[in-house]
Structure 1
Amino acid sequence: MLKRIEKGIMIPSILIVLGISFGIIINPETSKRIITQTQEIITNQYGYIYIWYGIFAFVFVIGISFSKYGRVRLGSKEEGPEFKTFSWAAMLFCAGIGASVIYWGVIEWAYYYIALPYGGKIESFQAAELAATYGIFHWGPVAWSIYAVSSASIGYLYHVRKVPVLRISEACRPILKEKVDGILGKGIDVLFILGLLGGAGTSLGLGTPLATEGIARIFNIEITIFLEIAVLLIITLLFAVSAYSGLKKGIKILSNINIILTIFLLLFVFVVGDTIFMINMGTSSIGVLIDKFPIMMTWLDPVGKSGFPQDWTVFYWAWWVAYAPFMGMFIARISKGRTVKNMLLGSITFGSIGCAVFFIILGNYGLNLQLSGSYNVIDSLSNFGGAVTIINILETMPVSKVIILLVTIVSIVFMATTFDSASYVMAVTVHKKQVENYEPDRWIRVFWALTLGVVPISFILLESELSILQTASIVAALPVTLIGVLTAWAYIKMVNEDR
């Protein structure tokens, strides 16, 4: 059983995760200060690296899609797509955004509304339009391009060259050559696992409080540490079972169910809310986004020094970068039979539109409450925080208990689909040579699923801040930008060599 495991990747990953987690837990204040200061240095002094990487990713994905490199089919010409388009889109969307899109989709506009970029007047109509637009930008084409960059080289290696391993380091082999077999290659894969664990912590840190608050409100019970742990255990059990079931029986089915529930939720809010306001503001937001897209992509505010692009755009790009190797591997794995163009454009199209719908419907529902005076979202955020405010917003809807229950279920399943996808990819990474369409050993899939759940549970039990682990993953994302560039270069090099 252990003979099939790449111990040089798995053991260091486990030891480093345990070491970092133990250090944070026993000395949280010092850890928080060091990691936060490092993050501030990176975002303030080197934020331009993330901004330029976002530009590179967007240009690369669009450029490759409409060139000869986009016509490459991932598999033989006789093979059709392994997954139907609905299931394929559902899996990549659920893996890529988790419950975070529900959390930020409802309230992200509020932070922009009172801290407007470009020196504009806060709480003005211009502020409302920009606030409704910036979330769509941060979760839009650039974000999904960052996710998709590595998928071309990984997909080509796995489905065309039939390389019997599926790792981010392997995607760098055309450039790094035999160095991939040494400590450098192992380091790349370990860095990938660490970034994924930290990124998963970010999603859990947002999704768990929301699900916990929803359960407490539905059953009118007090939020305790035991309730938080119970919610995490439910999520862990759900994605452990799904991971055990595999790609086609677990992840695919869970993703399909979640997308159907999500569509119902969005349609309900769209109908019971101010539908015309949502349509009008959504239309205006698309226009503002098209108008200001180049500025949003490049703005770092070196003169005004508001900190807005560092706190938001740079942070988001770093978050996407930390998750990008995982998403590149996952997108590549499920895209057999598709062309590279179909894979890349499908990823940014389905991903961007899916996220935009959340912000246009859920976000504008909350924004309309604020503008109409029906509910003061800004004050609620200041006094009660994000999770409570979101549930309070949902309580303004008809049959609110049912909607809160639905949001709670969707949040839990979103987290489960993200983490079962993550545990699957981590299991693939630590496996040695594989055969096509193989499934990694069940025990290793379940092991990583439990690891993803145990780490945040340990933080909660020992009353340590999970946000420290989240910040650490953002810090670790900086060198991943170089890996993304290497994989992009590798794809072009491989296609040119083979054709």
Structure 2
Amino acid sequence: MQTKRLDMPLLITSITIVTAIVAGLTLFPEAGKAGANHIFGLFTKLFGTPVLLTVFGAVVFLVGLGFSKYGAIKLGDGTPEYSTFNWVAMMVCAGLGSATVYWAFCEWAYYFNAPPMGIAAHTDGAYEVATTYNLFHWGISAWATYCIAALPVAYHFHVRKNAGLSLSAVCTAILNKKETGPAWALTCRIIDIIFIFTCFGGLSITLGVSVPMVSEILCSILGMTPSFGFNLAVILGISAIFSLSSYVGISKGMQRISSMNTYFAIGFCLLIFLIGPTLFIVKSTTNAIGTMLQDFVKMSLWTDPIGESGFPEGWTIFYWLYWITYTPFVGLFITKISKGRTIRGVILNMLVSGSMGCWFFFGIIGNFSMKTQLTKAVDVAGMVASGKGNSAIVEIMNTLPASSLFIIMFALISVLFLATTLDSAAYTMAATVTPGLKTGEDPSPMHRLFWCVMLAAVPLAMMFINAPLNTIKTCAIVTAVPLTFIICYMVYGFISWLREDFADLTEKEIRARG
């Protein structure tokens, strides 16, 4: 069933804000870069420690919730709509995006050049800590931030049967406001504007990193020189894919693309694993997982108060805020695809399946990249330090036999990862601006198509001014901080609902009600 109701004031306000950002970045690029650097430093220092504590607290809370009787609560009636493989594939693809493939090749090199915890750069210790932090930043804590935001929305929609698939609808339900006055209506507007702005912030990083990477790869195949015009052509091609996917819907579009891309990504990694330095990949990944699990609490709460190297602010805190920018649309999307699953099942699959999927990808790709540095086949660390990370990826893959085949496959995976991320974002943004959605209802296909087009605007402006990484990172920082407070309130309401609905029941009785 399709619905075409639209919240026109919210839609117009959102378009106005996005247009102003794009115009400002395009007309005043240098001022935009300077302002972004200032905001990035200020926000990470002021909010860094609370963010570290919040994300670590989310991990502890979810583990406790999963093992408690409340884990048996079923989200909605009937059996799951999607097979477990398709469910996990859509979840992973929506939560990662094609920025993953860039960072899988290059992220370790950033840490190798400027390692944390007082370790000297370019040493054996720097190599080991680089791999460990790579898996740490793309593991349990990342998926915990997604899950902690997804559960209140899923409970609101599937268990409480409240109308509306938006953050403001959840907050309204928590307050039990049946008749909202002007003050609360304005508050809901602000919440939804923060949500939409957050989507643009997070996706600016994804597109800002991914599109130049895909352009570099395609240009290496075609013998061309990367340019803004080529970036524009790439993003238009990607937009066509995810716009078609969004238009035809989740079951026919998103499900098929994400499943196909999951198979491609697994095949790509397995080929590299078998052809590349297999033993080194196994040993290095195992060592990194062991070190990360052993030092998980220390890494989660390390603020570097004495050395003040800037590593926690520049990486761990940035990443946690980056994940927070993704939580609204990943949370809403997971709500849509998780009907019939239990709370325990959602927690288990997000924290375990999501983390293992990332560790599989980063363990193979990252250690293969690192091995080319160790053998001096490619100076990955040097190229990354000089801002040539995309060129480094091409050179790394050129070390493989039949390198052109790997490069083409890599480009395809990047495009499909990006398409599924943008597809899920467009769906949830359309849902936010379509008030009162109920179970079985979707936003209008044309409305989803509109948001697909809008999502390309801010990243294109970033690419046009050739924004450095810190400018792109700032989009996440600015939008994630206010969103953190909203998510904390949603979790508070979620806990209240659990106690109100199931506190007097045993786990056996909860299962019987499902």
Report how many aligned residue pairs link the two structures. Answer: 496
The answer as to 2:493 corresponding to 1:490 is yes
Aligned amino acid, residue 492 of structure 1? I
Deviations 1:303-346 (A, max 9, x none): 01111111100110110111111111111111000001101221
Q: Secondary structure at the match of 1:46?
A: helix
CA distance in 1, matches of 2:440, 2:173: 23
Q: Secondary structure at the match of 2:443?
A: coil
CA distance in 1, matches of 2:462, 2:311: 30
Deviations 1:79-117 (A, max 9, x none): 111111111111111111101111011111111112121
What is the match of residue 266 of structure 1? 269
Q: Indicate conservation of the 8 Å contact 1:149/1:487, yes or no.
A: no
Q: Indicate conservation of the 8 Å contact 1:25/1:464, yes or no.
A: no
Q: Indicate conservation of the 8 Å contact 2:202/2:475, yes or no.
A: no
What is the match of residue 135 of structure 1? 134
CA distance in 2, matches of 1:414, 1:423: 14
| 1:340-355 correspondence runs (5 A) | 340-355=343-358
What is the match of residue 392 of structure 1? 395
CA distance in 2, matches of 1:4, 1:174: 20
Deviation, structure 1 residue 262: 0.4
CA distance in 2, matches of 1:473, 1:103: 18
Q: What residue ranges of structure 1 are gaps of 5+ in the alignment?
A: none
| 1:195-234 correspondence runs (5 A) | 195-234=198-237
CA distance in 1, matches of 2:175, 2:89: 34
Change (3 A) 1:174 1:434: closer
Deviations 1:419-471 (A, max 9, x none): 011001111111122232222101100000011124433554x5453854551
What is the match of residue 51 of structure 1? 52
Q: Indicate conservation of the 8 Å contact 1:74/1:338, yes or no.
A: yes
What is the match of residue 105 of structure 2? 106
Q: Indicate conservation of the 8 Å contact 2:462/2:472, yes or no.
A: no
CA distance in 2, matches of 1:432, 1:480: 20
The answer as to 2:377 corresponding to 1:377 is no
Aligned amino acid, residue 151 of structure 2? A
The answer as to 2:38 corresponding to 1:37 is yes
Aligned amino acid, residue 98 of structure 2? A
Q: Secondary structure at the match of 1:150?
A: helix
| 1:58-77 correspondence runs (5 A) | 58-76=59-77
The answer as to 2:123 corresponding to 1:120 is no
What is the match of residue 312 of structure 1? 315
Change (3 A) 1:300 1:323: same
Aligned amino acid, residue 303 of structure 1? I
| 1:66-465 correspondence runs (5 A) | 66-76=67-77, 79-178=78-177, 181-383=184-386, 385-460=388-463, 462-463=464-465, 465=467
CA distance in 1, matches of 2:63, 2:173: 22
Q: Secondary structure at the match of 2:167?
A: coil
Q: Indicate conservation of the 8 Å contact 1:201/1:466, yes or no.
A: no
CA distance in 2, matches of 1:247, 1:486: 29
Aligned amino acid, residue 445 of structure 2? R
Q: What residue ranges of structure 2 are gaps of 5+ in the alignment?
A: 503-514
Change (3 A) 1:238 1:466: farther
CA distance in 1, matches of 2:314, 2:460: 27
CA distance in 1, matches of 2:321, 2:98: 18
CA distance in 2, matches of 1:267, 1:192: 37
Deviations 1:349-393 (A, max 9, x none): 121111111221010011112122232212222345111111111
Q: TM-score, normalised by structure 2?
A: 0.93
Aligned amino acid, residue 465 of structure 1? A
Change (3 A) 1:29 1:176: farther
**Which region of structure 1 is more displaced relative to structure 2, 383-392 or 259-268?**
383-392
The alignment yields a C-alpha RMSD, in angstroms, of 1.8
**Which region of structure 1 is more displaced relative to structure 2, 469-478 or 135-144?**
469-478
Q: Percent identity among equivalent residues?
A: 36
CA distance in 2, matches of 1:2, 1:440: 6
Aligned amino acid, residue 412 of structure 1? V
Aligned amino acid, residue 170 of structure 1? A
Change (3 A) 1:406 1:182: same
Change (3 A) 1:233 1:324: same
CA distance in 2, matches of 1:362, 1:291: 23
**Which region of structure 1 is more displaced relative to structure 2, 8-17 or 310-319?**
8-17
CA distance in 1, matches of 2:451, 2:27: 24
CA distance in 1, matches of 2:278, 2:336: 39
Q: Indicate conservation of the 8 Å contact 2:165/2:435, yes or no.
A: no
Deviation, structure 1 residue 175: 4.1
Change (3 A) 1:464 1:47: same
